[in-house]
Amino acid sequence: MTSPTVLLIEDQEWTARSIETILRHAEFAVFKTYTGRQGLEVARKVDPDLVLVDRHLPDMSGGDVIKELKQLRSIGATTPIAIITGGPVTQAEKLDLLRVGAWEIFVSPFDPEELSLRVNTWANAKQEAARLEEESLVDSLTGAYNFDGLSRRVREIVAESRRYERPMACIVLGEPLPGENGDRNKPSENDVDRRVVDTLREVCRVSDAVGRVRDREFLVVAPSTDDSGAAVLVKRILEALDASVAEIPIRAGVFSLKRSPKEPLDITDLLGPATAALRRAQQGDDRVSFQSFQAN
């Protein structure tokens, strides 16, 4: 595992330095901020394994910071958040902080060993939970997204498309229909699937979602990609696959949207039309079949 990342939101310089020293000595990566707003901005970018928040910050209370942290995509239910304070805390105040999501309240002066051990336990648990979650979203054979992983990534892409009124495209790739290319069991299905995914990763952008839907059927969802962009992308993909998987003439179905409709879309709304286009390509003479949708 990589070094756990701790986001420290503390306006008192001496306290911040003391905690930072303790955590760095225990080999934590520490991001230090001094206001609630700064902390929230950093949390959006670094995906911390643990957050330590001062109870009283110049711009907002620690409890309010926790409430806003809980709304961030980078802060999940498994991300520990603890309050740090230099003053006494009543039982009612403690319960209020626990209700909004604090895992613990540390009162200064801190015992360095106790703080280090607790933070280490929480951060390691967070990293393990993240690892297990990632494994549940990734195809074990190829390392690409599985259906669940694609579903989550598609929700993010659709939300961005709707927010900024941007186009998007969905490309489904598959082998020829049985009988068109001889014995489909040769070469090894696993070997082909791995080579296809490796090729897609080389050709596609980092922002594109690449996944395996089923054996020898793959999906690419490309944000900010219009009809012409989709045509260029699928051409580039097929040319690369002709080199890496030359023994199988991969077919493609493309479904593009000039912009996302007002109604929410999920992966099936994209996969259905793109798969239908793929089936047309598999049954016809063309390697690629296109379908476009114009949202109202």
Task: Report the CATH number at residue 234.
Answer: 3.30.70.270
Q: Are residues 288 and 162 in the same domain?
A: yes
Residue 281 pLDDT grade (very low, low, confident, very high; cuts 50, 70, 90): very high
Mean pLDDT of 145-152: 92
Q: Are residues 102 and 213 in the same domain?
A: no
Q: Are residues 12 and 81 in the same domain?
A: yes
| Global pTM value | 0.59
Condensed to tens digits (0 to 9), the pLDDT of residues 170-201 reads 999 999 876 555 454 455 668 889 899 999 99
Which domain-ending residue is among 136, 164, 194? 136
pLDDT of residue 129: 78
Which domain-ending residue is among 136, 164, 189? 136
How many structural domains are present in the chain?
A: 2
| 290 vs 132: which has the higher pLDDT | 290
Q: Are residues 158 and 105 in the same domain?
A: no
Residue span of the structural domain in which 215 resides: 147-293
Q: Are residues 162 and 283 in the same domain?
A: yes
- Is 141 inside a domain boundary? no
Mean pLDDT of 23-48: 93
**Is the model's pLDDT at 295 over the cut of 80?**
no
Q: Are residues 128 and 12 in the same domain?
A: yes
Q: Are residues 88 and 205 in the same domain?
A: no
Mean pLDDT of 250-270: 87
pLDDT of residue 184: 47
Which domain-ending residue is among 108, 136, 164? 136
Q: Are residues 191 and 129 in the same domain?
A: no
Q: Are residues 129 and 58 in the same domain?
A: yes
DSSP annotation string for the chain: -PPPEEEEE---HHHHHHHHHHHHHTT-EEEEESSHHHHHHHHHHH--SEEEEESB-SSSBHHHHHHHHTTSTTS-TTS-EEEEESS---HHHHHHHHHHT-SEEEESSP-HHHHHHHHHHHHHHHHHHHHHHHHHTB-TTTSSB-HHHHHHHHHHHHHHHHHHT--EEEEEEEPPPTBTTB-TTSS-HHHHHHHHHHHHHHHS-TTSEEEEEETTEEEEEEET--HHHHHHHHHHHHHHHHHHSTTS--EEEEEEESS--SS---HHHHHHHHHHHHHHHHHSS-SEEEEEE---
Condensed to tens digits (0 to 9), the pLDDT of residues 195-249 reads 999 999 999 998 999 999 988 899 999 999 999 999 999 999 999 999 999 888 9
pLDDT of residue 124: 84
Q: Are residues 176 and 285 in the same domain?
A: yes
Q: Are residues 190 and 265 in the same domain?
A: yes
